[in-house]
Amino acid sequence: MVQRQCIAATTRAFSTCTLSRPASRTTPPRIHNQLSHQRRHLHQTQPRTTRTPLTHLQHTFPRRNTPKTRTFTTTPARSHGDLTPPKPGEERHVTFVDKDLQHHTFVVADGDNLLDIAQANDLEMEGACGGSCACSTCHVIVESDEMFDRMEEPSDDENDMLDLAFGLTETSRLGCQVVMRKELDGVVVKLPSMTRNMQASDFAEKS
C-alpha cells in the first residue's frame, strides 16, 4: 500500500515539475492488472539510488518501443505468481501473430497463461477484467486445429464469454484461460484485429 502511494506521489510530482519536458519521454499508463501490479512492486523494491523521478516513472511501466519483429525473447526472471523463468530443458515456445501479421515468439515456462505472457511483452492484449474470464478482451485464435485439440476443453464460463467475442472462430480461446504446458510447446495464436464496431452486423436494425 505504501508503495502504491509512493507511485502516486511520484506521478503527481512529475506532472507539476516536468510539463516542458519532451513528450516522447513520458510513458502512458498501462491498464492495471495483477501482473503490472506485481511488476511495479518489484521495481519499487529494487535499489534505485540514482534514478530521477522521470526514469523512475518509466520503469514502473512496461517497456516501450520494443522492436516490432522479435523472433526470440526470453522473459526476465520474476517471482511470486508472476512470469517465471523456464527451468533449463523445460522451455516452452509461444508465438503471437499481431494484427499487422508480425510474429512474436517467446520462451516461457509451464503455468504461465497467454494473457500474462502477452502483457509482459507489451503486445496489444487488454485483459480488461484482469484475467477473471469476465470480459473477452483477451480473445486469441489458435492457428492449428491440432494444437487447439491438445488444449484442455474450455469451461462453460469461457465459452459463454467467447460467444460474445467479435470474430469468433472454431479455434478461439480466451488468452487468460490458456495455460502453457509441455503439450502446447510451439503454439501459435493470432490476435484478432479490433474492428468490432466497424462491422455491419453491429448496425443491423434491431426491432
Contact residues: another protein, CB under 8 A: 7-8, 11-12, 14-16, 18, 23-24, 26-33, 36, 126, 128-130, 132-137, 156-157, 159-161, 163-166, 168, 194, 196-198, 201-207
Cβ(143)–Cβ(190) below 8 Å: yes
Cβ(121)–Cβ(106) below 8 Å: yes
User: How many angstroms separate the CA atoms of 132 and 128, rounded?
Assistant: 9
Whichever of 129 and 147 has its CB closer to ligand FES, that residue is: 129
Cβ(134)–Cβ(167) below 8 Å: no
As measured in angstroms, the least distance from the Cβ of 33 to ligand FES is 8
Binding residues for ligand FES, rule: CB under 6 A, are 115, 127-129, 131, 133-138, 161, 174, 176
As measured in angstroms, the least distance from the Cβ of 66 to another protein is 14
As measured in angstroms, the least distance from the Cβ of 57 to ligand FES is 26
As measured in angstroms, the least distance from the Cβ of 126 to another protein is 7
Quick one: what does residue 42 bind among ligand FES, another protein, none, with the CB cut-off 5 to 8 Å set by partner type?
A: none
For the chain, how big is the Rg over CA atoms in Å? Answer: 19
Maximal CA-CA distance, the chain: 64
Q: Strands across the sheet with 70-74, in order?
A: 70-74, 103-108, 92-97, 187-190, 139-142, 172-174
Quick one: what does residue 174 bind among another protein, ligand FES, none, with the CB cut-off 5 to 8 Å set by partner type?
A: ligand FES
